Structure 1
């Protein structure tokens, strides 16, 4: 039986507190060979769930409950910049040293990042905190497009449906995609129509805001530069927070998400229209290395730059048969 320790920190959203039991409980009910123990753990002290209806939390386990867990799950919580409660970082370090998988949802990534264990690795968080995570932890390769990002024993998620994507991902790692897909259909299929309606409303609202065109054109002409969020804000003559709101309203993406998407689209164009080596394309489109280009390219397209180029190369014209003179 796999043990999953859920670390309930102050300000955890109530639905993130219950989502692991919902996902793994459903899988265990429908598949006799699937078995999990879910432990709710918390550091000492009083804890409340987040707004708008905070509830006092009392957990059966303290931080010692992480000691033999196969997975330590860190849900989101309020005040991601605040220092973690005493003992939390040491408990996470000890879990990693024992070989446990550490998984964080949304702002829970900030707690995991505070250990230093994510330095030099890829990670993601809730979209509204992408730039904040990159600024606070510059040694992390922050993935602005990731839903679930796996890098070694560390997994991070954007926090869709309170970490349901991450729990289903873990279920797939343990018991295969078939079990995870069946559990997903059991849990979220009825939500699809509602989600489509909500997305349409959001899309309509996003089209109402304008005014970023000069900065967008400047960004597109400077892809080879190591652009930062502050560079974009300086060009737009606004604050970082204001820029982020305007990008989200105008493009439906955060500034870093938009920058990555434009870089990948330019890489696609160069692959199709030129014979430029992939190493040079990476430099011209602002990726830190060819490996970084390949990684993000595969995330977007499901294939490699080389395979994409081969697939989209124009076919050579068929030579006409030679006619002998009469």
Structure 2
């Protein structure tokens, strides 16, 4: 269970990403039905840490704050500088004892220098992905995603993608309802599909022509037939044009987007209703329990029954 968090800051830390960690893990959300964490900001040692934007951050704790926490967050620190060896040891020790390790943006370079990206899928800001791949050739760097989880290590892309990564971990450890509370208070979606590709690609020429109305309709009709043919007809496009535009706007395919939204809907139903697995499958658009189990295993690494036992508000039969 995720209860305690330490965020490591080094010279050149970005106040935005640090603010993300503070907002997700540093505020007590219990009055709203959300989580509360024991949250600490630490440096190599207590003292003043210069920030990327100018000015100084006063840190009251050294790396001893990372020794017993459930999650260590590595803040951006001005890649490609080499992190202090003490920081690398702290990251290695945290991972070795089974704690989560999460990096935001260029903080991934510290994870790489600590050897935690060797043989793992990972990401960082799209401006730095080529450099990360060059410096850590055994890492499997994915430049298109918002975040990656691989065996206890989570890396996120630039800036706002840190929100996605943190909310993913809250959902992973505490359930969809807890993540939704935090997201609602932050006025952000609890889950964004797609990836960095939507920011790297050339923008569409006419913002008024966006697929947002179709996406909204899809999200409200997950139990409907959402084939490309149906969606393209609704968008008044050919299937080929629709598929190309959809990837340009969301960074993923219609099928992948729909599957992830259906999994999220199934999670909510398993947590908040007493519907059986067959009914959850029907209501979320998977039609059969077998298909629901397949997508749950592939996306969440668990079964609907096991997920309900862990996160359901009230016991229910399945």
TM-score by length of 1: 0.56
Structure 2: distance between partners of 1:2 and 1:93:
20
Alpha-carbon offset, residue 139 of structure 1 = 0.3
Q: Taking structure 1 as reference, are residues 30 and 170 closer, same or farther at Cα in structure 2, changes over 3 Å only? A: farther
Structure 2: distance between partners of 1:64 and 1:128:
32
The answer as to 2:42 corresponding to 1:60 is: no
Alpha-carbon offset, residue 11 of structure 1 = 0.6
Contact 1:26/1:183 (8 A) holds in 2: no
The answer as to 2:28 corresponding to 1:34 is: no
Unmatched 5+ stretches in structure 2: 193-198, 206-246, 254-294, 300-318
Alpha-carbon offset, residue 26 of structure 1 = 5.3
TM alignment of 1:142-161, pairs within 5 A = 142-161=141-160
Contact 2:49/2:56 (8 A) holds in 1: yes
Quote the residue 1:15 is aligned against.
16
CA deviation vs aligned residue, 1:82-139 (integer Å, no higher than 9, x gap): 2112411111111111111110011000001101121011100011111111111110
Alpha-carbon offset, residue 252 of structure 1 = 8.4
Q: Taking structure 1 as reference, are residues 23 and 112 closer, same or farther at Cα in structure 2, changes over 3 Å only? A: same
SS at match of 1:57: strand
Q: Taking structure 1 as reference, are residues 42 and 26 closer, same or farther at Cα in structure 2, changes over 3 Å only? A: closer
Alpha-carbon offset, residue 38 of structure 1 = 0.9
SS at match of 1:128: coil
Q: Taking structure 1 as reference, are residues 82 and 252 closer, same or farther at Cα in structure 2, changes over 3 Å only? A: farther
Alpha-carbon offset, residue 4 of structure 1 = 0.5
TM alignment of 1:143-292, pairs within 5 A = 143-161=142-160, 163-189=162-188, 203=203
Q: Taking structure 1 as reference, are residues 178 and 64 closer, same or farther at Cα in structure 2, changes over 3 Å only? A: same
Quote the residue 1:96 is aligned against.
95
Alpha-carbon offset, residue 34 of structure 1 = 1.9
Alpha-carbon offset, residue 162 of structure 1 = 6.4
Quote the residue 1:76 is aligned against.
76
Quote the residue 2:5 is aligned against.
4
Structure 2: distance between partners of 1:85 and 1:76:
13
Q: Taking structure 1 as reference, are residues 33 and 13 closer, same or farther at Cα in structure 2, changes over 3 Å only? A: closer
Structure 2: distance between partners of 1:157 and 1:141:
14
Structure 2: distance between partners of 1:186 and 1:203:
30
Structure 2: distance between partners of 1:107 and 1:40:
18
Contact 1:27/1:183 (8 A) holds in 2: no
SS at match of 2:61: coil
Alpha-carbon offset, residue 174 of structure 1 = 1.9
Quote the residue 2:119 is aligned against.
120
SS at match of 2:20: helix
Q: Taking structure 1 as reference, are residues 69 and 32 closer, same or farther at Cα in structure 2, changes over 3 Å only? A: same
Q: Taking structure 1 as reference, are residues 6 and 162 closer, same or farther at Cα in structure 2, changes over 3 Å only? A: farther
Count of aligned pairs between the two proteins? 205
Structure 1: distance between partners of 2:52 and 2:161:
13
Structure 1: distance between partners of 2:154 and 2:26:
21
Contact 1:27/1:179 (8 A) holds in 2: no
Structure 2: distance between partners of 1:33 and 1:164:
16
Root-mean-square deviation (CA, aligned residues, Å) is: 3.4
Structure 1: distance between partners of 2:72 and 2:35:
18
Alpha-carbon offset, residue 31 of structure 1 = 4.2
Structure 2: distance between partners of 1:26 and 1:203:
36
